[in-house]
Amino acid sequence: MDVHPLIRHAPDPDHPGWWTWEVGAADRFNGTIGKLLVRPGEPGRATCRMFPEERHANLGDMIHGGAILTFIDMALFAGGRLAGANVIRAVTLDLSTRFLSPGRIGVPLDAEVELLRETKRLAFFAGKVVQEGELIAAFSGALRKSSQAVR
């Protein structure tokens, strides 16, 4: 599978069945999430996992909403790619999120991503963020592929 040249995508030795989605350039914003893992699901679906740390906390000691939004945005790309979308070079066009429960620090957070439709220029997704079976957020979003990606 093709991924962006700056992304390290390999089996994760500490989490069987999961693959790394590591941005090789530490000076990029993507690095704020920390370790990100992905795994394919049923056709058109994938799951992304982050490991919330203190640096992701708000003043109430729960996961900051901005950290969850960043995670979801990254899941559209990583999960979207594993779900089969050609989003190696794309930008976020739209992201709508509804927060439903607080997320806890120190407990893995999963984004379950579903590819709804893909056209020559766009990819549409829906999904949910869960933590130990509890629904944390629901989201939908669209990515617009760069002109290089559709040639």
What is the per-residue pLDDT for 24?
64
pLDDT digits (tens, 9 = 90+) for 73-94: 999 999 999 999 999 889 999 9
Place 146 in a pLDDT band, splitting at 50, 70 and 90: confident
- Using alpha carbons, list the distances in angstroms from residue 81 to 45, 97, 129: 9, 20, 18
What is the per-residue pLDDT for 26?
65
* Cα distance between residue 51 and residue 67, in whole Å: 11
All structural domains of the chain:
7-145 (3.10.129.10)
pLDDT at 10 over 90: no
What is the per-residue pLDDT for 2?
66
pLDDT at 25 over 70: no
Are 25 and 32 in contact, with CB atoms under 8 Å apart?
Answer: no
* Cα distance between residue 141 and residue 93, in whole Å: 7
* Cα distance between residue 59 and residue 65, in whole Å: 11
- The whole-number average pLDDT for the span 99-126 is 98
Are 72 and 80 in contact, with CB atoms under 8 Å apart?
Answer: no
